Amino acid sequence: MSFPKKHLSDPLLSHKPYTPGIQPNFTERVIKLNTNENPFPPSEKVREKVLSEIDSLNLYPNPHSSTLRTCVANLHNLSEDQVIIGNGSDDLLNLCVRCFAGGTLEVGMLAPSYSLYEVLASIQGAKIVGVSFANDDFDLPLQGIAASRANLFFLTNPHAPSGKEYGLADLEKAIENFSGIMVIDEAYADFASHNSISLLSKYDNLIITRTLSKSYSLAGLRVGYALASPALVSVLDQAREVYNVDRLAQAGALAALSDRSYFETTKTQIIKLREELRIEFDHMGWRTIPSGANFLFTQPSRQGDSGPDTAADLYEFLFDREILVRYFPQNQLTESYLRISIGKPAEMGILMDRIKEWQTQEKRK
């Protein structure tokens, strides 16, 4: 029985919910390379800190995540009033939409990019302005961004789902020629060669969002943060829910950010595994987008054939063997590619064994 539509808000009537990657009922055999999680567990210090807070769960958490906020500010050499903490970076993206979109205030985004942007904008009832790429090189469409005339623009760097990393010169051009609020979503920036934080001192219309889900192994705790001018942070803070980050999440995040040695070790290993996998794909003649993230976006080929049918065939072949990767058939620029998260070394070995097995099979008629 469906809920009566007469009780729903107008934006929700046309709303299409976000579709996450498959979350399986785990068996020992499943290799999960479809949601860009960190393959390694969090620092042991996270476990210790979270357990130490268990007996305090009867108390509300710090409403401003003050200690964590100070830690983030120190990490990036910023002031505390340039930092806001969220229940994952998705919470902060939602705050941006809540504050800067709706009615005549439009939301711009690269097309394709992280599909949650469109979901959040539609719930707010905001018009969506998609700025398309010229081709599957995924170069930043600077003219399109400037011409979008949106009030809020989401720019993912490194880009998702391609993993392409944009240089500071292009990012500056994008911000300088855009009159609204520019959000650079740096979910994967820790795996890239650079980030955009230095631009905060130059542009007062810039917000940078970060998550601890990827490089800090905290996808299950949901912690993120945004960096911006004190004026922009103050606006976001007005729309923030009270106690938006729970006690365990604050404790775990603080421990993760404080263990720099573990962070550097796991990050370096993921980048090494990423480049080893890219070399394997290069040797097979696959077109792979250079990545600054913890995944690769690659165009499979077999016996000289590539394209949507080939990508879909490999996706299904791997799925049948309990290896989960991500396929995006909804867009012409992505329908010939698979996005493969970087897993543990043994998982990468099994993945390559299955891919080589697939390559020897006869093509489907």
Give the tens place of pLDDT for each residue, 319-362: 999 999 999 999 999 999 999 999 999 999 999 999 999 999 87
Decide if 325 contacts 340 (C-beta within 8 A). Answer: yes
**pLDDT the model gives residue 263:** 98
pTM: 0.93
Query: What domains sit in the chain, N to C, each tagged with a CATH number?
Result: 23-40+261-360 (3.90.1150.10), 44-258 (3.40.640.10)
* Structure tokens belonging to residue 324: 């989960």
Residue type, 334: T
3-state secondary structure the chain: CCCCHHHCCHHHHCCCCCCCCCCCCCCCCCEECCCCCCCCCCCHHHHHHHHHCHHHCCCCCCCCCHHHHHHHHHHCCCCHHHEEEECCHHHHHHHHHHHHCECCECEEEEECCCCHHHHHHHHHCCCEEEEECCCCCCCCCHHHHHHCCCCEEEEECCCCCCCCCCCHHHHHHHHHCCCCEEEEECCCHHHCCCCCHHHHHCCCCEEEEEECCCCCCCCCCCCEEEEECHHHHHHHHHHCCCCCCCHHHHHHHHHHHHCHHHHHHHHHHHHHHHHHHHHHHHHCCCEEECCCCCEEEEECEECCEECHHHHHHHHHHHHHCCEECEECCCCCCCCCCEEEECCCHHHHHHHHHHHHHHHHCCCCC
Report the pLDDT value the prediction gives residue 230, as an integer from 0 to 100: 98
* Residues 161, 328 contacting (CB under 8 angstroms): yes
Separation of alpha carbons 262 and 259, rounded Å:
6
pLDDT of the residue at 6? 56
Q: For the segment 38-71, what is each residue's pLDDT rounded down to a tens digit?
A: 999 999 999 999 999 999 999 999 999 999 999 9
Q: What does residue 105 show for φ and ψ, rounded to 5 degrees?
A: -90, 110
Flag residues of the chain having pLDDT under 70.
1-28, 363-365
